[in-house]
């Protein structure tokens, strides 16, 4: 593809991290043509990770999570349409219809629409608080501020967001009770063994994490909430938050002709069709590990930021290699970090620290090759172990090299 020229017009749908970073990067790389950034939220682009951490724990005001300050917005010289939702894409014409029936036509389109909070899978007498957006965080902060110390708050879902919300509530002097449907939280992400090690974190921090809790009904009254399960005693709480995961919204792309398969399927260059790309949480992209190539979709901050960087460089004629998937999560007073993308059934080898100390480093191994590194409160070890994923490294070679110990 020839590089972007000043006669081009790039339309970016989704004004979150990926969309905003893409716009900033093409400008930094010298693109002078037109840019339109469309976002359905009323807010200028902001960062989501602080919502469940610094903001919900009361350490930051919401404004600190803003990515696109008024000066930065001015600086990128883009037409920014906020509070406007894209409802149709004509991929051949590269035109996007918005919810007010206006049409924005470009030469290139970037889909950066992320995900939404997943609809509830149980009955509820009223809408439940979730945490995905600025507005959600603001409502939850207000709700938490109104509660007396030691109030029980039920957090339905023990995944990343649920655990972080519980941690923030604990910091505020509330008593979170995490209700997880699976045998252990995060099993689908880190696998059986590592999830058992991480399962210790909640109790060690003083948070009750109940597993195998299939919620059936939630009844919300003015001052209390009752949660009923398929089996077991109901839980009475003062408030409840649903952190049951995320869902894609691809309906508006259904007749676009793009390949949709749990995400917008893209090639090595993040393109879904010539001149149309998908980046961030919405993209099902090609991940090359030492062993093979597979299409994956990842809902993590660094991946969205790296996609924006990679696509901007590709479209500006300065191709960059894709980065390794990476995530972190701050939960129960500890930092979990992972580099690479393991399969949940990869073998896990603990190479440093111990479960009991709540400080360790583990390698994931498939067909004798290291596929990922997971660290609990060992950021230096993780950074040093990155070298194992730069190339194909067998577990024997990794153990002999032991870069985490240098
Ligand atoms: C509370 C919370 C905490 C997190 N913490 C971490 C963490 O600690 N570590 C980590 O690695 N990741 C974390 N994440 C995940 C990380 O924030 C996401 O991976 C990242 O935001 C993805 O960026 P994105 O631009 O793809 O999507 P988003 O940030 O979701 O942005 C997409 C935007 O597009 C808008 N949009 C959607 N459809 C349309 C449409 N049709 N028209 C116009 N606009 C549309 C959406 O409303 C949204 O504003 C967290 C996420 C949340 C919610």
Let me know the angle formed at the C-alpha of 325 by 89 and 166, rounded to the nearest 5 degrees. 90
Q: Whose CA is nearest to atom 3 of ligand 1?
A: 49
DSSP strand E in 221-325: where? 225-229, 235-237, 239-242, 246-247, 264-265, 271-273, 276-278, 283-288, 293-296
The average pLDDT across 308-334 equals 96
Distance 133 CA to ligand 1 centre (A): 8
Complete DSSP assignment for 96-136 = EEETTS-EEE-SEEEE----EEPPPSSEESSPPB--SSHHH
3-state secondary structure of 361: strand
Kindly report the protein residue whose alpha carbon is nearest to atom 27 of ligand 1.
114
What local confidence, expressed as pLDDT, does residue 242 receive? Answer: 96
Which uninterrupted H or E stretch holds 12? strand 9-13
Mutational pocket test of ligand 1: of 12, 39, 57, the residue with most ligand atoms within 8 Å of the beta carbon? 39
pLDDT score of 236: 97
In DSSP terms, which residues pair with 180 in a beta bridge? Answer: none
Which of 233, 232, 49, 223 lies closest to 153 in space, CA to CA? 223
| Residue nearest atom 30 in ligand 1 by C-alpha distance | 114
pLDDT band at 344 (very low <50, low <70, confident <90, very high): confident
pLDDT band per the 50, 70, 90 thresholds, residue 406: confident
Q: List all residues 6 or more positions away from 191 whose beta carbon is below 8 Å from its beta carbon.
A: 342, 343, 344, 345, 346, 348, 364
Asked whether residue 294 carries a pLDDT value surpassing 80, the answer given is yes
Q: How far apart are CA 346 and CA 364, in angstroms?
A: 6
Q: Is the CB of 13 under 6 A from ligand 1?
A: yes
Ligand 1 center from residue 243 Cα (angstroms):
14
* CB 229 less than 6 A from any atom of ligand 1: no
In the predicted model, what is the mean pLDDT of residues 137-144? 95
Give the mean pLDDT of 276-300. 94
Task: With residue 193 as reference, give the H or E element that holds it.
Answer: helix 187-198
The verdict on the CB of residue 14 being under 6 Å from ligand 1 is yes
Alpha helices in 237-358 (DSSP H): 301-315
- 132 CB within 6 A, ligand 1: yes
Whether ligand 1 lies within 6 angstroms of the CB of 243 is answered as no
Confidence of residue 401 (pLDDT cuts 50, 70, 90): very high
Q: How confident is the model at residue 366 (pLDDT cuts 50, 70, 90)?
A: very high
Using alpha carbons, select from 346, 347, 340, 352 the residue that is nearest to residue 380: 352
Phi-psi region of 159 (alpha: psi -120 to 50; beta: other; left: phi over 0): beta
Confidence of residue 34 (pLDDT cuts 50, 70, 90): very high
113 touches ligand 1 (CB under 6 Å): yes
Residue 135 pLDDT greater than 80, yes or no: yes
Q: Domains of the chain (ranges plus CATH)?
A: 9-115+248-315 (3.50.50.60), 118-246 (3.50.50.60), 342-405 (no CATH)
Are residues 13 and 106 in contact, defined by beta-carbon separation less than 8 angstroms?
no
The 10s digit of each residue's pLDDT in 259-277 is 999 999 999 999 999 999 9
The pLDDT of 359-371, averaged and rounded, is: 97
**pLDDT digit string, tens, across residues 56-75:** 999 999 999 999 999 999 99
| Phi-psi region at 193: left, alpha or beta (left = phi > 0; alpha = psi -120 to 50) | alpha
Q: Which pLDDT does position 22 carry in this prediction?
A: 98
- Across the chain, mean pLDDT equals 96
The percentage of residues in the chain with a pLDDT greater than 70, rounded to a whole number, is 100
pLDDT of 64: 96
pLDDT of residue 2 exceeding 90 = no
Q: Is the pLDDT of residue 223 over 90?
A: no
Does the model's pTM come out above 0.95? Answer: yes
Q: Cα separation of 39 and 85, whole Å?
A: 6
In the reported structure, the alpha carbon of residue 212 is separated from the centroid of ligand 1 by a whole-number distance in angstroms of 28
Please determine, for residue 1, whether its predicted confidence score (pLDDT) is greater than 80. no
């Amino acid at each position: 593809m020839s590089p972007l020229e000043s006669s081009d017009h790039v339309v970016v749908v989704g004004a979150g991290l990926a969309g905003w970073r893409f716009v900033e990067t093409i400008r930094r790389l010298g693109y002078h043509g037109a840019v339109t950034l469309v976002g359905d939220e009323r807010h200028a682009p902001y960062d989501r990770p602080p919502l469940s951490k610094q903001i919900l724990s009361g350490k930051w005001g919401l404004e600190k999570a803003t990515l696109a300050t008024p000066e930065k917005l001015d600086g990128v010289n883009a037409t920014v349409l906020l509070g406007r939702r894209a409802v149709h894409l004509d991929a051949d014409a590269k035109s996007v219809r918005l919810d007010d029936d206006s049409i924005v036509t470009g030469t290139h389109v970037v889909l950066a629409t992320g995900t939404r909070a997943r609809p509830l899978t149980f009955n509820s007498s009223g809408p439940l608080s979730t945490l995905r957006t600025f507005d959600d965080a603001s409502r939850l902060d207000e709700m938490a501020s109104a509660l007396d110390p030691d109030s029980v708050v039920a957090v339905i879902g023990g995944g990343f967001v649920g655990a972080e919300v519980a941690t923030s509530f604990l910091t505020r002097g509330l008593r979170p009770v995490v209700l997880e449907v699976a045998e252990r939280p995060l099993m689908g992400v880190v696998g059986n063994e590592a999830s058992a090690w991480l399962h210790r974190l909640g109790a060690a921090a003083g948070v009750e994490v109940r597993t195998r809790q299939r919620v059936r009904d939630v009844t919300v009254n003015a001052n209390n909430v009752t949660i009923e399960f398929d089996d077991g005693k109901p839980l009475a709480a003062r408030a409840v938050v649903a952190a049951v995961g995320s869902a894609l919204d691809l309906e508006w792309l259904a007749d676009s002709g793009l390949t949709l398969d749990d995400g917008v399927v893209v090639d090595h260059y993040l393109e879904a069709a010539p001149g149309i790309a998908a980046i961030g949480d919405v993209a099902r992209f090609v991940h090359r590990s030492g062993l093979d190539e597979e299409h994956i979709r990842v809902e993590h901050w660094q991946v969205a930021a790296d996609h924006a960087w990679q696509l901007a460089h590709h479209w500006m004629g300065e191709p960059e290699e894709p980065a390794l998937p990476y995530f972190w999560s701050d939960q129960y007073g500890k930092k979990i970090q992972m580099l690479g993308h393991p399969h949940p059934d990869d073998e896990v080898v603990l190479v440093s620290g111990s479960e009991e100390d709540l400080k360790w480093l583990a390698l994931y191994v498939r067909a004798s090759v290291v596929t990922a590194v997971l660290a609990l409160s060992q950021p230096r070890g993780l950074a040093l172990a990155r070298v194992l994923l730069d190339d194909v490294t067998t577990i024997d070679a990794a153990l002999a090299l032991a870069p985490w110990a240098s």
